[in-house]
Amino acid sequence: MSVVTQSRQAINLGMASMRMTYTVKSFFGGYMLRTLCQVVFFSSIGALAAGGEVTSFLLIGMSVYLATTLPMMASASTTWDRNAGTLSLLVASPAALAVVFLFRSWFFILTGSVSSILALAILIPAFGISVSISQAALIFALVIVAALTTYALGVACGGMALRFPHLRNVFSTFVMTVSMMIGGFVVPLDYWPAGFQWVAQIFPGVHALSGIREVMGGGDLTVVGFHTVTAFAVAFLWLVVAALSFWWLRVHGRKVGSIDFED
């Protein structure tokens, strides 16, 4: 079975998973409404406490954070096959585990991007923040970059979640919480000591957010491009980690004749 065929079948599986996870009503009337309230809450704190730049900082940060939240759900979704009893079949099959798990949860990239872009499109004018059409286009593109690159981190966490399935939600929650705290989403990145700033660099979404803030400030497009390339470079490293994790899962599982690592 070719990689293209494996990818296509994994994408189809992801489409089926998306239909099971969301309906139009549950996404727009449930999840989207909740996340809008979340962004409004933080933005309102900024408006009441300081206004102006603080409001813009929090609105942009929390809106982009939405784009990184759902892709991290790939950490939990990699265990779906284990819970369904089909992981052993994947391990025994000639299919590449890395390819299967890379494409099976792709819809989190879509839903993360849509939720973030909608939040920005609705709340930026609602809070009276001035953004040109060209800036908006760049910001929306970088939101997709944030979701796409963070997905690589989510898949890498998913590889670890297969080793410790009872911690599948802990991995994603821990990563999301730490990235929100030190990644420049609610507090400026340079507020933290140098060590924390270095740790923040391991999160691809942080680099995409830096590019968005550069666009908002009317900065140099070269700097924006640098942040974008860095986000993809960090994401690539996480994909390598994910591939090694899945490779180890297959090798160890075939060696001992079991995929239940907790025994």
pLDDT of 116 over the 80 cut: yes
Q: How confident is the model at residue 197 (pLDDT cuts 50, 70, 90)?
A: very high
| pTM of full prediction above 0.85 | yes
Mean pLDDT is highest, among 31-40, 157-166, 250-259, for 31-40
Nearest CA to 113 among 78, 141, 77? 141
Question: CA 238: distance to chain centroid?
Answer: 12
Span 222-246, mean pLDDT?
Answer: 94
The predicted pLDDT at position 263 comes to 40
Report which of residues 192 and 76 the model is more confident about.
Answer: 192
pLDDT of 79: 73
Q: Lowest-pLDDT range, 15-19, 73-77, 216-220?
A: 15-19
Q: What is the mean pLDDT of residues 200-209?
A: 96
Domain parsing of the chain, residue ranges? 3-256
pLDDT tens for residues 135-147?
Answer: 999 999 999 999 9
User: What was the pLDDT predicted at 235?
Assistant: 97
Highest mean pLDDT out of 201-205, 214-218, 219-223, 241-245: 201-205
End-to-end CA distance of the chain: 32
In terms of pLDDT, which residue wins out, 251 or 116? Answer: 116
pLDDT score, position 257: 58
Q: How confident is the model at residue 39 (pLDDT cuts 50, 70, 90)?
A: very high
> What integer is the mean pLDDT of 249-253?
69
- Continuous H helices in 70-217: 74-77, 80-84, 87-92, 97-103, 107-126, 133-163, 168-182, 194-200, 204-216
69 pLDDT higher than 90:
yes
